[in-house]
Amino acid sequence: MSTTDKTDEKELGAAGAQLSTAPEEEEAGIIVPGSFGGLRKPGFAGGAAWTVREVWGWLRWMWRQLTSMRVALILLFLVSLAAIPGSLVPQTSVNAVKAQDFIDAHPTVAPVYEKLGLFHVYSSVWFSAIYILLFVSLAGCIVPRSWQFVGQLRAKPPAAPRNLTRLPAYATWRTAAEPDEVLDGAQSALRRRRFRTARASTAVASEKGFLREAGNLLFHIALFGLLISFAVGQLWKGDGSKLIVEGDGFANTITAYDDFTPGSFYGADDLNAFGFDLDSFNATYATSGPDKGSARTFRANVHYWTGADGKKHKGAIEVNKPLEIAGSKVYLNGHGYAPVVTVKDGSGTVVYSGAVAFLPTDANLTSTGVIKVPDAVDKNGKADQLGFSGLFTPSFKLDSTLGPISVFPALANPALILTAYHGDLGVDSGLPQNVYQLDTKNMKQFKDSKGNIVSKAMQVGDSMTLPNGAGSITFDGIKTFAQFQVTHQPATGWALTSAFSAIIGLAGSLFIQRRRVWVRAVRGDDGVTVVELAGLGRSESAKIADELGTFVDILLVTAPVQAEPPPEEASEASEASAETQPEDEGARA
């Protein structure tokens, strides 16, 4: 098949050459790996020269292999294959909790997976190796092609081949018009249609569709742009989360975050100075229908400022609508409730008062949380720390099997169900503690005189009195909290620009045809001018014939057909009629 193309190209000579900068494909089996050094002369110098030649030869051979289409195809295929495990095994970078759960649940395979890098596939050695090789291969192909393309842009369209009838699309007629007249008309018609033209004495050569190659190169160069932007974005990225209760605020410093994961080159000094206050949080839910209880809108109303203490601006953050402040973006990630409580200790003093965030555990916002009161004393005035743990349900229901749960995410029937502990919270040990968990190792649960655990489902305004005069807790009200993610990611604009360049380049390289048209006008011996038109495209399609047809029509105006001499063998050609549409060729870099 390709041999036919090759012979055709030979027959067409320079006219058919370099219609694309795509690399020539060597036929399989021609490459014979072997010694590059030739004769090895005696002596050290000879040996050294031989070794250099040999090494250089092998390097050249490897480079040519790497930049060949066959290897590029294999690497492309490997990239897609290597991406698969990352979608099946939980990734630490995507969801660290899920990855840890997997590790805990599969103690036998987890260490093997860990060794293979299956929990961080996209930063693993083998995945990186494949895509780096692919990009090296791509560079090895794109760079020479770009130079070649620049050369082609500066060159004239190749001269008309001697025998135009051999070309895929051809037309001819005889006319009384002067050859120069015909050629002038042809050249201006071709120019009007944005062909690059070159005039010779008896023919006009023209070429169009350089944007195909330009698009192809743009697409592949844009891939490098994407890769670099992505790398920069990962390395200089800062990403943290913060839970804020209504009325509270946040200032962008590392210590203010609940957790913070910076990129390799991003540190505490790089954080932009800004902050914001959460004024209120609105959520609405479907109150009927099959999706009853699913969220309909979330909106956090904030006031934000930039600089150390700049002017405050009003703003809103919604899902899908992050707020951009000073180069960072603030996303709304979640929300929940923070019951407001007042705790009195054994001496009757208020030892804690405020809102405590309870973390949602289900779609109806059944939430769990703890309250730690380190500064409490018992009725004798002896230090005795208090701790509470329990549930908050915005719409309370006592389920016969599940116990207390929430049946709707909005505050229809809020209840706070707590049980109390006293003893040592463990907060004084200096070790960091999870604020959402109570370490009950050194604590005792309060029990009433009958030995039952003290616990109470409180409505707003209710109190729970602890036994033995140890104090009380009052459920004063409810605030809402919102969970925010603050992200600083550079080079996003570059990534977007690269992505769109890639799409434009793709469209150019797949939809534009590169083709050449020649017009020849020669005065014959009988004094009549013979006009010949021919078209050739690398990506041949029926359109080339159509386009040639339009040129025929245009030229006929200045060079009308003159009566033919007695017909030759034209009828033979018109008999064979199996229509074959030449095919398109794909893009290649």
Partner 1 sequence: MNLAAAAVNENVAHISNYLIYSAMAVYTLAFLAHVTEWTFGSRSKVAVQSAALVTAAAAKPAVTVKSAGGTTVLERPQVVTRATASDRGIPDGPGAAGEDEQGDMYGRIAISLTVLGWALHVGGVVARAISVERAPWGNMYEFSTTFGATAVTAYLVLLALGKNVRWIGLFITTAVLLDLGMAVSVLYTASDQLVPALHSYWLWIHVSCAIISGALFFLGATATFLFLFRDSYETGLLGGKPNKGRWANAMSRLPAAATLDKFAYRVNAAVFPLWTFTIVAGAIWAEAAWGRYWGWDPKETWSFITFVLYACYLHARATAGWKGRKAAYLALLAFACFLFNYYGVNIFITGKHSYAGV
- CA geometry: angle 182, 186, 190, nearest 5 deg: 175
Q: Measured from the CB of residue 250, what is the shortest distance to partner 1 in angstroms?
A: 16
Cβ-based nearer residue to partner 1, 167 or 470: 167
* CA-based nearest residue to 212, from 539, 500, 583, 498: 539
* 3-state secondary structure (DSSP) of residue 1: coil
* CA-based nearest residue to 488, from 322, 333, 307: 322
Strands 385-393 and 367-373: antiparallel
Q: Measured from the CB of residue 197, what is the shortest distance to partner 1 in angstroms?
A: 20
Site for partner 1 in 76-105 (CB under 8 A): 76-77, 79-80, 83-84, 86-88, 91, 93-94
Determine if 436 is a binding residue for partner 1 (CB under 8 A): no
* 3-state secondary structure (DSSP) of residue 99: helix
Q: Measured from the CB of residue 25, what is the shortest distance to partner 1 in angstroms?
A: 4
Q: Measured from the CB of residue 367, what is the shortest distance to partner 1 in angstroms?
A: 19
Provide the token pair at 201.
Answer: 């004495």
Provide the token pair at 348.
Answer: 């009757």
Interface residue with partner 1, options 71, 159, 499, 530 (CB under 8 A): 499
Interface residue with partner 1, options 13, 17, 25, 162 (CB under 8 A): 25
Determine if 296 is a binding residue for partner 1 (CB under 8 A): yes
Using CB atoms within 10 Å of the CB of residue 296, give its burial: 0 to 12 exposed, 13 to 18 middle, 19+ buried: exposed
Interface residue with partner 1, options 503, 522, 524, 565 (CB under 8 A): 503
Nearest-angstrom CA–CA distance, 336 and 476: 17
Q: Measured from the CB of residue 322, what is the shortest distance to partner 1 in angstroms?
A: 6
The residues, ordered by sequence, that sit 6+ positions from 441 with a Cβ below 8 Å of its Cβ are 426
Q: Measured from the CB of residue 56, what is the shortest distance to partner 1 in angstroms?
A: 28
Q: Are 306 and 325 in contact (CB under 8 A)?
A: yes
Cβ-based nearer residue to partner 1, 171 or 407: 171
359-398 footprint of partner 1 as x/- string (CB under 8 A): ----------------------------------------
Interface residue with partner 1, options 59, 313, 553, 565 (CB under 8 A): 553
Beta strands (DSSP E) in 452-528 are 455-458, 463-466, 471-488, 515-523
Which segment (2-10, 308-316, 433-441, 464-472) binds partner 1 by CB under 8 A? 2-10
Interface residue with partner 1, options 140, 322, 404, 423 (CB under 8 A): 322
Interface residue with partner 1, options 15, 19, 72, 338 (CB under 8 A): 72
Q: To 10 degrees, the CA torsion angle through 554, 556, 558, 562?
A: 170
Q: Look up residue 185 and give its amino acid.
A: G
Site for partner 1 in 516-545 (CB under 8 A): 533, 540, 542, 545
Strands 274-285 and 249-251: antiparallel
Backbone CA torsion sign across 359, 361, 366, 369 = negative
Q: Measured from the CB of residue 225, what is the shortest distance to partner 1 in angstroms?
A: 13
Which segment (148-156, 252-260, 312-320, 393-401) binds partner 1 by CB under 8 A? 312-320
Q: Measured from the CB of residue 106, what is the shortest distance to partner 1 in angstroms?
A: 17
End-to-end CA distance of the chain: 21
Interface residue with partner 1, options 18, 27, 253, 310 (CB under 8 A): 27
141-180 footprint of partner 1 as x/- string (CB under 8 A): ------------------------xxxxxxxxx-------
CA 355 to chain centroid, in Å, comes to 40
Determine if 507 is a binding residue for partner 1 (CB under 8 A): yes
The per-residue DSSP string of 358-375 comes to BEE-STT--EEEEEEETT
Q: Measured from the CB of residue 269, what is the shortest distance to partner 1 in angstroms?
A: 22
Q: Measured from the CB of residue 112, what is the shortest distance to partner 1 in angstroms?
A: 21
Determine if 258 is a binding residue for partner 1 (CB under 8 A): no
Determine if 308 is a binding residue for partner 1 (CB under 8 A): no
